[in-house]
Amino acid sequence: MGHAQFFKKYFFYEGEIGGITSFFVKDADGDTKVVTVGGLSFRGGLGIHNEDNSLSLGLNSGIEGNFKHDTGILPVYINSRVMLGDDTNKVILAFGYGRSFQMGPENLHGYLRKYTIGFANITDRNNMQTFFIEANNHGFNFPDDGLAAKTLNFGYTYTFL
């Protein structure tokens, strides 16, 4: 019974939505846009955290739809977080490592490395909402133009603690 109480008390699950940005993209008229929305990402995860919510380790996955390259990417990764701050506001530093799979006929894949910084606050219900910016390196090149599959994402995560 002690094991069940540990996981109930220190277990979390979360959902995330993000926007993938693209820089210096030419539109259909040939005009260059400095910054555009390059896609959307939807991810979720589950894991464990310590008692004061300063460390966590989770398993995450989801889908990233990349509009510029007309493809989807499926990341599967372990995410570690350090959360610095007081009981209500925290700065999040996170590192994720795992695998990324391109969804398409090319069957591309690589080792994912993900770096995140965010600002979080603990809600009245003792859950956590986070606004973040992250850089992802998916470990392969897009087939249409040979560019590395690297993205910069901005988004929102809600974590049920």
Q: Each residue of 105-121: pLDDT tens digit?
A: 788 999 999 999 999 99
Find all residues with CB under 8 Å of 28, minimum gap 6, and list them: none
Question: pLDDT, tens digit, for every residue of 66-111?
Answer: 887 888 999 999 999 999 999 899 999 999 999 999 987 788 999 9
Q: How far apart are alpha carbons 158 and 55 in whole angstroms?
A: 16
Residue type, 82: V
Domain boundaries, the chain: 27-160
The identity of residue 51, as a single letter, is E
pLDDT of residue 35: 78
